Amino acid sequence: MVTVGLVSAGFMGAGLGRALIEGGARVVTTIDGRSARTARLAAEAGLELLPTLTDVVAVADVVLSVTPPGVAVDTARSIAVAARRAGRLEGGAAPGKSAGGAARDVGGGLAEGAARDPAVVGGLVEGAARGAGGRAEGASRDLNAVGGLTEGAARGAGSGLIGGAARGADSGLIEGAARGVGGGLAEGAARGAGGGLAEGAARDLGAVGGLIEGAGGVGGSVEGAAWDSGYGSEPAGSAGAEPELADGGGGPLHEGGATVGGGGLLVVDLNAVSPGTMGRVAEELTGLRVVDGSISGPPPTVRKGARIYLSGVAAGVVAGLPWGGQIEPVVVGERVGAASAVKMCTGSVYKGLTALVTQAMRTAGAHGVLDLVLADLERSGLADSDGVARSATKAHRFVGEMREVAATQEAAGLSPALFSAIADVYAGVALTELAAGDPEQERELSPEEIVARLRA
């Protein structure tokens, strides 16, 4: 039986937890520091309660993070700290630092949970390493690359194995699994010397016979492996083939804080954030396997069939969790940030339209033409006054999401003004009487009552 940890058991989180329980999973969470409402939702879903987040992380195979967008990064940091306390971080990585799985290229090169060759200028060793020809776990020596950065586990020069991510000669970054200089093979993703891009092919980093398979380029970003120090853009074509589902050869599901899909603890961020923010989340989760996820649709306790978009190397493993037919997982690819991009686009339409209808209803009410306006909108299927009322109870969450949409659109070369303004709409709605209550509560309100409560 797979054990899924949940952070946190709100309306959506508890609904996902319930679906997994019905599918045969063990679902654990903590209500430490949480509200009475969260405690009630967790109890109604039948979730197993543990004292602290550290206890949850200690036993979980997979951790699902379902929180408001504004606290996604802080939540990731808390999970990383809990993982360190529980001994679940890979390679001795420190929380909040860029290491294997998510790294920043910061000019001089940063080695965390890994190593810089102590023989080279400014060499820094973090972890433990054995010398040339020996085996280094959590660290490595690359005796040939001046200023070289090796992350992961490596064998020294001379046909040695470099596993993880390495900065070879000329500051090239080799991520994946690599053989050292002298006919070595680097598989995964790589940033080549001089800013060149190698996609599904190879780039010689100056290591004799060194072959890089994957994608990369200095100044670019290899997602699922590296984030550059800015927005976290990715090289074209880096997604690759979708991984197999866990039930179809993607790896076993192990019970009780062991592994899922053949790796360490897997953290799935299911928050409505921009690809850039997802990069920061991945950075906080250094030393853990990370999958980017986004949810489209209501909790399965309301209606079955919500989609969860997933991206990352282990996305297929998450898709293979026992969702019990209540969730439709969709694997986008291996590029972390892609699933978040889907959410930013679909959410902009769904919540943007609701904001427009909200403002139209308020304006129509002020002019005494509400019935006529709704009748006209009904002809196009847009007169969703009930949706306006439901959204009001979540307006405080939508503020952060709309700001994430604005940031995503700005990164795409568009003006952020539209969704910054829609964020302001939801910020105003959150202060009204209509926003009182919880989304799981049924409310029978007429359009006139909705408009009246939007004035308060």
Look at the block and give the residue holding tokens 């972890």: 127
Read off φ and ψ for residue 78, nearest 5 degrees: -65, -40
Give residue 129's pLDDT: 33
Distances (CA, A) of 289 to 184, 243, 268, 387: 26, 14, 9, 37
Q: Phi/psi zone of residue 3: left (φ > 0), alpha (ψ -120 to 50 degrees), beta?
A: beta
Q: Classify residue 17 by its DSSP letter.
A: H
Mean pLDDT for all residues in the chain: 73
Q: Where are the alpha helices (DSSP H) in 258-337?
A: 275-284, 315-319
Contact yes or no for 57/76 (Cβ under 8 A): no
The domains found in the chain, sorted by start residue, are 3-89+264-335 (3.40.50.720), 341-454 (1.10.1040.10)
230: CB partners within 8 A, 6+ apart: none
Nearest to 95 by CA among 227, 236, 349, 287: 287
Half-sphere exposure of 454 (CA within 13 A, CB side): 30
Give residue 142's pLDDT: 34
| pLDDT tens digits, 30-60 | 999 999 999 999 999 999 999 999 999 999 9
pLDDT band at 398 (very low <50, low <70, confident <90, very high): very high
Q: Classify residue 254 by its DSSP letter.
A: P
Look at the block and give the residue holding tokens 């999958």: 291
User: Which pair of tokens denotes residue 26?
Assistant: 């063990």
Note the Cα 398 to chain centre separation in Å: 18
pLDDT band at 72 (very low <50, low <70, confident <90, very high): very high
Read off φ and ψ for residue 289, nearest 5 degrees: -75, 140
User: Which pair of tokens denotes residue 434?
Assistant: 């209509």
Which of 44-58, 157-171, 438-452 tops mean pLDDT? 44-58
For residue 148, the one-letter residue type is G
Segment 416-434 shows an average pLDDT of: 98
Give residue 441's pLDDT: 79
Segment 82-94 shows an average pLDDT of: 83
Give residue 442's pLDDT: 73
Give residue 91's pLDDT: 62
For residue 331, the one-letter residue type is V
Helical (H) or strand (E) element with 390: helix 385-392
Rounded CA separation 272/290 (Å): 16
Q: Is the pLDDT of residue 81 over 90?
A: yes
Q: Is the pLDDT of residue 374 over 90?
A: yes
Contact yes or no for 329/319 (Cβ under 8 A): yes
Give residue 192's pLDDT: 34
Look at the block and give the residue holding tokens 């961020």: 269
Q: How many CB atoms lie within 10 A of CB 348?
A: 20
Q: Phi/psi zone of residue 280: left (φ > 0), alpha (ψ -120 to 50 degrees), beta?
A: alpha
Distances (CA, A) of 442 to 331, 382, 447: 33, 21, 15
User: Which pair of tokens denotes residue 87?
Assistant: 């001994």
Give residue 250's pLDDT: 35
Segment 281-297 shows an average pLDDT of: 98
Give residue 70's pLDDT: 94
Give residue 262's pLDDT: 58
Give residue 126's pLDDT: 30
Give residue 116's pLDDT: 29
pTM over cut 0.85: no
Distances (CA, A) of 22 to 185, 294, 337: 45, 21, 30
Q: How many CB atoms lie within 10 A of CB 202?
A: 16
Give residue 373's pLDDT: 98
Give residue 96's pLDDT: 59
Q: Is the pLDDT of residue 224 over 70?
A: no
pLDDT band at 439 (very low <50, low <70, confident <90, very high): confident
Contact yes or no for 160/128 (Cβ under 8 A): no
User: Which pair of tokens denotes residue 246?
Assistant: 């866990």
Look at the block and give the residue holding tokens 């000329």: 170
Q: Is the pLDDT of residue 252 over 50?
A: no
Q: Is the pLDDT of residue 92 over 70?
A: no
Between 422 and 119, the higher pLDDT residue: 422
Rounded CA separation 395/355 (Å): 10
| pLDDT tens digits, 10-25 | 999 999 999 999 999 9
Helical (H) or strand (E) element with 184: none
